[in-house]
Structure 1
């Protein structure tokens, strides 16, 4: 399911970047819709969630079927299940494209270019959100980063290209312009400005000598700029140019957590205490890394854990934290994974029967059976 999802995403981007395709933008929307659907279905399958539709007939519940096959959740239902918070910018972006697909499918063929220019920021956010969800859920080895490269294009890099794009946007039919304006107006301001809903870039040509270790295109987050740099970028942006200020930085182990940090992150996501000792029990049970002293410490499950040869220690991924939170959020799951009773974070009391080590020695002896001959020694 994950492979099928990635194939759909790659096809969507290939269509988007192909100027010879008449319905390229419609193809992008449809295939990204399928990519997201297959990805969320894969997560639901992995988490053993029943995502079939059921129909009630009196006191009987039956699975809805289409041509004999169970009918499964559509993308809108999956999105509401995965992001119950209605103010999630990722959810807002997905619901925007679900609604847009219903409007543009098999219509507006002549406005494909104008529409792609008008919602280019949302389209980029749709793809970046997909990449983040994919790697968080199924590991960095599933990333599309090496397959989808920054395209070679003109666009707004020339004055005439910018004027052409602006003219295209002005040619959108009234119904589409009304839909776009109404959807944005219905969003909270924090969601509308969030790059996970609408991703926009400001690109600045770099004039410095070429660095052999640098990439042709490097991304700098707005939040990483100083106040002075932000003011400069915003001032240029108001003039209608597209600008980015490039910075060089290299981070080893970015996003990886040490055991203490990882255990705290798990505890923050579940209703029980979760110590580093329990964290150790978990990685041993799940075999995400070799035991201490193993001659091959690098043989980890790279979705969840990576070995740092320089420091001879391990870093744990956000995907692993998410997995432990899923496993340990219930009492039964907690006991199954770490083989001990959980303690409530609020009351500090054991949840369910306490572990044997928490029972006083004089209470551990099983009471004699009825009628047994009980003798006491001196």
Structure 2
């Protein structure tokens, strides 16, 4: 019986590592679950790409610079490409969202191992969208390269959890995110600020899910959870989904009556959200300067207070004040997550928060 191709053992190891990574991530009893996910997904991706190269006859050993016919050795073993080098070979476009997601986790792994082992839970929450994309990208690469018989879909299940399905759960998760160390917040913000908009917004770099809970009729042939891909929606459905906002939180359908100012934020509320999401000190003065520079509303005492940029701000004639939209909060969080953007948005030099 012929020996199996070498790439098959690498492929099997890749699937095992990915399965273990997800099991650790979803285990509430693991004190360093997210770190385990990052480390084992790193190995899963490395073995998967090496399996692809081995199958396709691509030599992924480092050659000596002084003699390209010979290979670099370490402790008697050939030195093989690390994950970043493999990603460069697989995705030649520097800003490919899959490659940038991979490189993000490589850099994050180095920080976790060397300085931040104690921030596991908070960090896992802050980059959960990146982690989900990290796994789905792996599944896509696995199936596209080796076929559906190797898919992880029959092994992994949708986890049962509370999280943002309840109001209290959502607030608890937000409180954890705010405790992330300033230098990790800065790392995440700096990494994102260097990305083109189309890469940062791509679900292969960061997956942001919006779940609408509704009662459905019992169907013995249907799955308990149904997901609809963006590409499969009509233009009208895409518009309706987009109108739900960009927060990526769960939306529970319920009956609502008309409420004046529904969905708008008071200045202090908007200011607190921005301050919690960026690594720099953000005050009411920064908030004031931001709307003045952007010109989203008139100055106080204007004869036409209603002349606002309705994407970001609306005038309340009854209360004689202004309400700010989630879109304005999202805009400022994005702008103020880097030193350059902070100065452009507020006209003030960014100051790191006290740790």
TM-score bucket (shorter structure): 0.5 to 0.7
What corresponds to 2:16 in structure 1? 7
Q: CA RMSD in A?
A: 1.8
Query: What do the CA deviations read for 1:53-78 (whole angstroms, capped 9, x no partner)?
Result: 11133x57431112211110000000
Spell out structure 1 runs of 4+ moving beyond 6 A. none
Q: Distance in 2 between matches of 1:80 and 1:94?
A: 10
Q: Which moved further from structure 2: 233-242 or 113-122?
A: 233-242
Query: What do the CA deviations read for 1:320-365 (whole angstroms, capped 9, x no partner)?
Result: xxxxxxxxxxxxxxxxxxxxxxxxxxxxxxxxxxxxxxxxxxxxxx
Determine if the alignment matches structure 1 residue 212 to structure 2 residue 212.
no
Determine if the alignment matches structure 1 residue 108 to structure 2 residue 116.
yes
What corresponds to 1:26 in structure 2? 35
CA drift of 1:5 comes to: 0.5
Q: Distance in 1 between matches of 2:238 and 2:207?
A: 17
What corresponds to 1:248 in structure 2? none
Q: Does the 8 Å contact 2:214/2:252 carry over to 1?
A: no
Q: Does the 8 Å contact 2:53/2:59 carry over to 1?
A: yes
TM-score, scaled to structure 2 = 0.66
Q: Does the 8 Å contact 1:93/1:198 carry over to 2?
A: yes
Call closer, same or farther: CA 1:244–1:127 in 2, change over 3 Å.
farther
Determine if the alignment matches structure 1 residue 122 to structure 2 residue 130.
yes
Q: Does the 8 Å contact 1:202/1:237 carry over to 2?
A: no
Call closer, same or farther: CA 1:81–1:240 in 2, change over 3 Å.
closer
| Superposition pairs of residues 1-378 of structure 1, within 5 angstroms | 1-57=10-66, 61-238=69-246, 241-243=249-251
Q: Does the 8 Å contact 1:233/1:244 carry over to 2?
A: no
Q: Does the 8 Å contact 1:23/1:109 carry over to 2?
A: yes
**Local SS of the residue matching 1:187:** coil
Q: Distance in 1 between matches of 2:198 and 2:223?
A: 32
Call closer, same or farther: CA 1:238–1:41 in 2, change over 3 Å.
closer
TM-score, scaled to structure 1 = 0.62
**Local SS of the residue matching 1:236:** coil
**Local SS of the residue matching 2:65:** strand
What corresponds to 1:258 in structure 2? none
Which blocks of at least 5 consecutive residues in structure 1 are unaligned? 246-378
Aligned length: 244
Greater relative contact order: 1 or 2 (C-alpha under 8 angstroms, separation 6 or more)? 2
Call closer, same or farther: CA 1:143–1:129 in 2, change over 3 Å.
same
